[in-house]
Chains A and B, each alone.
Chain A
Amino acid sequence: MNQRDHDQMKEFLQRALLPVDADAEPARDLWPAMVRRLDADSATPTLPVGAGFNWAWFDGALAAGLLALAASFPAAVPLILYYL
Chain B
Amino acid sequence: MQNETSDVLNEFRQGTISAFETLFRQHQRAVYGWILRVVRDPSAAEDLTVETFWRIYRARDRFEPARGFEGWARRIATCAALDWLRARKENVELDAEGCFEMPAPCGADPAVNAEIRARTVQAFDRLPPKLRIAATLAVIEERPQKEVAAALGISVAAVKLRVFRALRLLRKDLKQQGITP
**Separation of A25 and B46 alpha carbons in the complex (Å):** 9
A24 contacts B by Cβ under 8 Å: yes
B161 contacts A by Cβ under 8 Å: no
Residue pair B21, A15 in contact (C-beta under 8 Å): no
Residue pair B167, A9 in contact (C-beta under 8 Å): yes
Interface string of B107-122 (1 = CB under 8 A from A): 1110110001100110
Residues 24 to 56 of chain A near chain B (Cβ within 8 Å):
24-28, 30-31, 33-34, 37-38, 41
Separation in Å of the B17 CB from the closest CB of chain A?
8
Separation in Å of the A8 CB from the closest CB of chain B?
6
Residue pair A37, B50 in contact (C-beta under 8 Å): yes
Residue pair A20, B141 in contact (C-beta under 8 Å): yes
Q: How many A-B residue pairs have CB under 8 A?
A: 104
Q: Which of B28, B109, B141, B167 touches A10 (beta carbons < 8 Å)? A: B167
Residue pair A16, B167 in contact (C-beta under 8 Å): no
**Separation of A34 and B135 alpha carbons in the complex (Å):** 30
Residue pair B139, A41 in contact (C-beta under 8 Å): no
Chain A interface helix/strand/loop/mixed: helix
Number of interface residues, chain B, beta carbon within 8 A: 44
User: In the assembled complex, which residues on chain B have CB atoms less than 8 Å from the CB atom of A30?
Assistant: 24, 28, 32, 46, 49-50, 53
B130 contacts A by Cβ under 8 Å: no
**Separation of A22 and B141 alpha carbons in the complex (Å):** 9
Residue pair B57, A12 in contact (C-beta under 8 Å): no
Number of interface residues, chain A, beta carbon within 8 A: 30
Q: Which of B21, B29, B32, B107 touches A18 (beta carbons < 8 Å)? A: B107
Separation in Å of the A45 CB from the closest CB of chain B?
16
Residue pair A14, B29 in contact (C-beta under 8 Å): no
Give chain A's interface residues, CB within 8 Å of chain B.
1, 5-6, 8-20, 22-28, 30-31, 33-34, 37-38, 41
Give chain B's interface residues, CB within 8 Å of chain A.
17, 21, 24-25, 28-29, 32-33, 36-37, 40, 42, 45-46, 49-51, 53-54, 57-58, 105-109, 111-112, 116-117, 120-121, 124, 135, 139-142, 164, 167-168, 170-171, 181
